[in-house]
Amino acid sequence: MDAIKAARELGKAIQADPRYIDYVNAKEANDKDEELQNLIGEFNLKRQNIQYEMNKPDGEKDAEKIQKLNTEMQECYGKVMGNVNMANFVIVKNALDKLLEDVNMIISMCCEGEDPDTCEPAAHACSGSCSTCGGCH
């Protein structure tokens, strides 16, 4: 089997994985949640208004307006993240991201000569401390 064919098979396996299926379902639930979509739209509008105000020349910026918009944006963000569908989406998205991270780590380790049947992504996980690191993969 050539590498491209194997990559296509890997893609099929990922799409059959429960973490991927959960992600697709959570994304669809978010898209159908009108209240959530309105909150996201409101958040984006407030963010754009802040950027517009911040991009004004120094003498024209209204610090009070910026602060008010920032507070409103943070409140709106809290409502978005407090939405049940969004909370579920974050959880399943993190699980899918972890799966993809592990797959990428295995591919990278194999490209460095490790045995595809025995290499483990967790054994090469980043501890966050560069002082103990043998180099990024």
Task: State the angle between helix axes of 18-32 and 34-54 in degrees (0 to 180), rounded to the nearest 10.
Answer: 80
**In Å, how far from its chain's centre is CA 103?**
16
Mean per-residue pLDDT for 35-47?
96
Mean per-residue pLDDT for 13-40?
98
Mean per-residue pLDDT for 24-39?
98
**C-alpha Rg value of the chain to the nearest Å:** 22
Report pLDDT for 136.
55
Round the average pLDDT of the chain to a whole number and report it: 91
CA distances to 2, 22, 32, 39, 72 from 79, in Å: 48, 23, 17, 7, 11
Strand segments, DSSP code E, in the chain are none
* Of 72 and 134, the one with more pLDDT: 72
